[in-house]
Amino acid sequence: MSRVRKISFSCPQLLHWGVSANVVTEIGEPFGIQPMNVVRRILMCFLLAVIMGCAATETQSVSDLHIPDLIFVRYDSDGSDIYGLRVADMAVTQMTDTKAAEEFPVWSKDGSQFAYLSMLGDQFEIKARTALSDEDIVLLVGAAEPVSWSGDSKFIVVTKKLGESRGLVMVSTRTGDETIIPTGASGDAYATWSPKSDAIAFESTRDGNPEIYTADIDGRSVARLTDNNVLDEWPQWSNSGEHIAYASGVEGDKDLWIMRSDGTEKRQLTSNLLFGDSYPSWSPDDSKVVITVIAGDKDTNLMVVDVESGVTELLIEGAAASWRPRRAEEFLQ
């Protein structure tokens, strides 16, 4: 006749997965197994389950946060807030909800945080927030323009008023120290950093109407990439650093163009779209670009443009999107 013993233990980790907290195991000796050996084996399995349960809980908590693929702006009667979009299921999450108007969100190159412009009355601030937090850090006060991150996220570049004109300023995200980027002329604006942080692309009115230029981060080796009688604006590097997307046209009739980073092989991707004033943003694999398109009097939509074919599709209502890039290490090797 077999003897039966019952052992009870509490397991909150298993409870997390929907298993009863009081697990009762019957241990017998019908097959000649020693009870204490079975107990040891069960305890070892239990410890392993706890360890795996803790690891699974940590992974689950991170995945539950669903870091968005894109961040963008939506406008309402109270102003504007930042939202996140997970492309796989088109789930939208509101990222900010304050009295201030928030605009121009932009992911850092490693996708760990984003910066944005906050405007409340006559107070203008550039703020940053990590992807896994709802707490903000003020990076810069007094600037009312969009920013771009360096590849290592240690700096941002922003447009500021310099004397009677405007220029580009590099700001340390750790100390707040500001350094003017001396490109040899005035009228520079809306710069974006190359993935390797060795160059910037920007628009400038130094030669008349806005054109696209590049320069080393110290302001040297300035190169003009566009030369025409229309407005060339809002340059944005691809994640690989091989191409630059930009807006080109006249007010009320701008289209998306791309070119190689040296200004060659210019190609128009869209036509008959009201390109809104904001940076285009590349998908992580550089196969698509998301742009802001004005629809009607005030409405704005985000449109996705296929780089190879130029086919354009409606994504979602919103403006000024930033696509979460790959980690910068992939391009810094």
Residue 198 sits in a domain of what CATH number?
2.120.10.30
Residue 30: predicted pLDDT: 44
Burial of 93 (0-12, 13-18, 19+ CB in 10 A): middle
Q: How far apart are CA 108 and CA 116, in angstroms?
A: 11
**CA distances (Å), origin 27, targets 36, 39, 161, 312:** 9, 8, 79, 66
Tell me what percent of the residues of the chain surpass a pLDDT of 70. 77
Neighbours of 291 (CB within 10 A): 30
pLDDT, one tens digit per residue, over 291-316 is: 999 877 668 999 999 999 999 999 99
Mean pLDDT value across the chain? 81
Residue 252: predicted pLDDT: 82
Q: How far apart are CA 211 and CA 47, in angstroms?
A: 65
Residue 138 counted as domain residue: yes
Select from 198, 238, 239, 237 the least CA-distant residue to 326. 239
- Residues 38, 43, 48, 53, Cα dihedral to 10°: 120
Q: How far apart are CA 256 and CA 273, in angstroms?
A: 9
Residue 131: predicted pLDDT: 81
Burial of 216 (0-12, 13-18, 19+ CB in 10 A): middle
Residue 68 counted as domain residue: no
Calculate mean pLDDT across residues 154-175.
93
Same domain, 179 and 246: yes
Same domain, 132 and 261: yes
Burial of 315 (0-12, 13-18, 19+ CB in 10 A): buried
Q: What are phi and psi of 102, to 5 degrees?
A: -115, 135
Same domain, 40 and 96: no
Sheet holding 136-141, edge to edge: 101-107, 113-120, 123-130, 136-141
Calculate mean pLDDT across residues 257-277.
92
pTM listed for this prediction:
0.78
Same domain, 38 and 157: no
The answer to which of 191-200, 249-258, 268-277 has the lowest mean pLDDT is 268-277
Same domain, 108 and 59: no
Q: How far apart are CA 264 and CA 9, in angstroms?
A: 70
pLDDT, one tens digit per residue, over 76-89 is: 888 899 999 999 99
AA letter at 181: I
Q: How far apart are CA 113 and CA 147, in angstroms?
A: 13
Token pair for 17: 């997965």
Same domain, 209 and 290: yes
Residues spanned by the domain of 131: 76-332
**CA distances (Å), origin 325, targets 78, 110, 136:** 30, 7, 21
Residue 69 counted as domain residue: no
Q: How far apart are CA 134 and CA 102, in angstroms?
A: 14
Residue 162 counted as domain residue: yes
How does strand 147-149 pair with strand 155-162? antiparallel
Number of domains, the chain: 2
Same domain, 179 and 207: yes
Same domain, 25 and 120: no
Same domain, 287 and 316: yes
Same domain, 116 and 190: yes
Same domain, 45 and 175: no
Residue 70 counted as domain residue: no
